[in-house]
């Protein structure tokens, strides 16, 4: 039988389905296979289910000559080298839709938690010094705010839709402007990036990580933001220069920063930090979550199941539904 590698924990029912089509090697716990374990497992494998914890590049593929399909259990696949996969004739698939709603939902939650000082309030309550209401922890609100969303893809649009429940103004920027019908349905207005940066009380990032978007939030971006605005990043860590954010927090340019993703997670960057910026962890004006944008039990079950479907279809001689490089199938 062929060998299938699943380097992270997934549900037993999905493992059982895969096991009907090959010998499955998987992690025994909630931690992923270590890099050397992954390479050893994939050296003679035909299929790999990849997550955010795996980095696939040319050297990896050279060491895994039998690999024919990498099914990403993710939406953003910047940790998987598409060109290298294509050159090696390895099919790459992804899960395009299931992460959209929970990620947008978390973006709203982070925005509220940040503006309403929930982290500081929670710490105060747990300190044992709470003695009832006091005129403390006053903050901002999404109600009546101008919220700028950078990115008009699925997550950006869903974030705009969820924000329609709040009184206020929604503006967005994307290189490809939405059509007028969609803008009207979302009650969102297009704005050039410079205007969005200058006008927004909250900025929510909803971009993929590319060479063009890496560190789109940098010193000059932050300097152009409205004084006392909030920045929220549920997308990819390296969209943000974390050191620049620390400086903007220290000077008061930013009222707060919330993030679910961090520079240290972007495995394909040879210069990536190896830890979350310590000053972000120490800062009272931050709300930080450990990449839980899609961490809804049923959603994660469906994501793994859909990635498994792609592997099973390929191994059964059928065409997977969500191929990133379908040209591999044509030759």
Contact between residue 117 and residue 304 where contact means Cβ atoms under 8 Å apart: no
How far apart, in whole angstroms, are the C-alpha atoms of residue 244 and residue 222?
Answer: 8
Please pick, among 265, 277, 300, 322, the residue that the annotation labels catalytic.
265
Residue 6, token pair as written in the block? 């699943």
How far apart, in whole angstroms, are the C-alpha atoms of residue 117 and residue 109?
Answer: 12
- Interior CA angle at 57 toward 56 and 63, to 5°? 90
Enumerate long-range contacts of 137-143, CB under 8 Å, 24 or more apart: 139/115, 140/115, 140/116, 140/201, 140/230, 140/255, 141/115, 141/116, 142/108, 142/111, 142/112, 142/115, 142/166, 142/168, 142/202, 143/167, 143/168
Of 324, 265, 254, 252, the residue nearest 51 (C-alpha): 265
Please pick, among 17, 272, 291, 301, the residue that the annotation labels catalytic.
291
SS3 219: helix
Q: Is 236 one of the annotated active-site residues of the chain?
A: yes
SS3 91: strand
Q: Token match 């500081």: residue?
A: 120
Q: In terms of DSSP H, where are the helices of 116-209?
A: 118-126, 154-163, 180-186, 193-199
How far apart, in whole angstroms, are the C-alpha atoms of residue 74 and residue 95?
Answer: 5
How far apart, in whole angstroms, are the C-alpha atoms of residue 261 and residue 141?
Answer: 23
Please pick, among 236, 253, 277, 300, the residue that the annotation labels catalytic.
236
List residues with catalytic annotation: 236, 265, 291
């Amino acid at each position: 039988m062929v060998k299938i590698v699943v380097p992270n924990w997934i549900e037993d029912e999905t493992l059982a389905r895969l096991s009907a089509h090959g010998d499955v090697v998987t992690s025994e716990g909630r931690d992923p296979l270590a890099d050397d374990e992954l390479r050893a497992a994939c050296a003679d494998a035909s299929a790999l289910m990849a997550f955010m914890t795996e980095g696939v590049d040319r050297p990896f593929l050279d060491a895994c000559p039998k690999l024919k399909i990498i099914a990403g259990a993710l939406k953003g696949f910047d940790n998987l080298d598409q060109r290298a996969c294509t050159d090696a004739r390895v099919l790459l698939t992804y899960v395009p839709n299931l992460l959209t709603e929970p990620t947008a939902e978390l973006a709203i939650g982070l925005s509220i938690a940040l503006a309403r000082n929930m982290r500081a309030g929670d710490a105060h309550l747990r300190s044992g010094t709470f003695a009832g209401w006091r005129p403390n922890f006053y903050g901002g609100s999404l109600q009546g705010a101008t919220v700028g969303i950078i990115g008009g893809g699925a997550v950006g649009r869903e974030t705009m839709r969820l924000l329609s429940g709040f009184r206020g103004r929604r503006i967005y920027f994307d290189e490809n402007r939405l059509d007028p019908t969609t803008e009207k349905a979302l009650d969102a207005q297009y704005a050039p990036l410079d205007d969005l940066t200058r006008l927004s009380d909250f900025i929510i990032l909803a971009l993929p990580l590319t060479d063009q978007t890496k560190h789109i939030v940098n010193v000059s971006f932050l300097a152009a933001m409205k004084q006392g605005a909030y920045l929220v990043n549920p997308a990819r860590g390296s969209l943000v220069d974390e050191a620049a954010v620390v400086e903007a927090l220290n000077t008061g340019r930013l009222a707060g920063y919330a993030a679910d993703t961090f520079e240290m997670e972007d495995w394909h960057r040879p210069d990536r930090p190896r830890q979350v910026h310590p000053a972000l962890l120490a800062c009272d004006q931050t709300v930080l979550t450990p990449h839980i944008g899609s961490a809804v039990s049923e959603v994660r079950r469906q994501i793994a199941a859909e990635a498994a479907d792609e592997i099973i279809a390929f191994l059964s001689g059928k065409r997977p539904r969500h191929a990133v490089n379908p040209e591999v199938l044509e030759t």
